[in-house]
Structure 1
Amino acid sequence: MDRQSEQQESITMFAHEGLGLIFIFIVFLLGAIAMFIHPFHALGSWFRKKKQERKSGQ
């Protein structure tokens, strides 16, 4: 076996190991996005609820 095919075999042998890191990174990224969006979404729905309470109270 020559050196080039040996290198290619080792690359394909360990190619799946990056998938776990990619999966963890995507989950982390989604969590970070949710962490930043959540307060704004919560405030928006809180203001919407207060506005509706004021309308129904009058």
Structure 2
Amino acid sequence: MGQTKKAKITFTCSHELREELEAVAGSEDRTLSNLVERLVTKALREYRQSSSTDQGKGAA
């Protein structure tokens, strides 16, 4: 197997959460790592969009 240029991140979660993530990954024919990357990418995109729309909503 070749080397990856992606950074490695480790996080801790409950066994139940891991089992759920593995089930979703399996149903989407993805690796667990790929699923988590996709979910984090989506969450960051939504956060950025939310942050950019909130910038103009300061107190007057």
Greater radius of gyration (CA) = 1
Q: Which has the higher contact order (CA 8 A, sep 6+)?
A: 2
TM-score (structure 1 length as normaliser): 0.47
